[in-house]
Amino acid sequence: MQLNTHLKLNNSLNGDVIELRPNYAKISLKTTDTMRCDDEGLVHGGFAFCGADFCAMASVNHPFVVLAKSEVKFLAPVKVGEVIVFEGNVMANDGRKQTVSVVGKVADKEVFSGEFKTVILEKHILC
């Protein structure tokens, strides 16, 4: 299956698609020193959110999908060099509106979970 959305993102910041099928996406985000927020090597949570948001968008996989709302939990810290694997599943589909569940794990440890409410627009949001 081909990715149809968010094609111009910098994948080093939001992750790479490693699996894609209807209503499902898996993203791998290798954390780097650019994402570091302190001397201990803690990755700023915004980068985890970025990967999870991209996973939600890829799960819907429409060129005009946008995020309307999210409710997320940061469950454990992530350290520079770790790889977060996000899995997204469309849990509800009401025409133009979808609810996507996203879980992020480092190895077998859950570090992120969230629910993303998306909307498919009729045209690009900036048009």
Tell me what pLDDT residue 14 has. Answer: 95
For the residues of the chain, what is the DSSP string, one character each?
----S-TTS-HHHH-EEEEEETTEEEEEEE--GGGB-STT-BBPHHHHHHHHHHHHHHHH--TTEEEEEEEEEE-S--BTT-EEEEEEEEEEEETTEEEEEEEEEETTEEEEEEEEEEEE-SS-TT-
Tell me what pLDDT residue 15 has. Answer: 98
Region 66-84 average pLDDT: 98
Q: Which residues of 74-102 are buried (b: 16+ CB within 10 A; e: fewer)?
A: eeeebebebebbbbbebeeeeeeebbbbb
Distance (Å, whole) CA 20 – CA 7: 14
Tell me what pLDDT residue 77 has. Answer: 98
Region 41-62 average pLDDT: 98
Of the pLDDT bands very low, low, confident and very high (cuts 50, 70, 90), residue 40 is very high
Residue type, 119: V
Residue type, 113: S
Average per-residue pLDDT for the chain:
98
Tell me what pLDDT residue 61 has. Answer: 98
Tell me what pLDDT residue 119 has. Answer: 98
pTM of the shown model: 0.96
Mind listing the domains of the chain with CATH numbers?
11-120 (3.10.129.10)
CB 31 within 8 A of CB 41: no
Pairing of strands 83-94, 109-120: unpaired
Strand partners, 70: 116
Tell me what pLDDT residue 54 has. Answer: 98
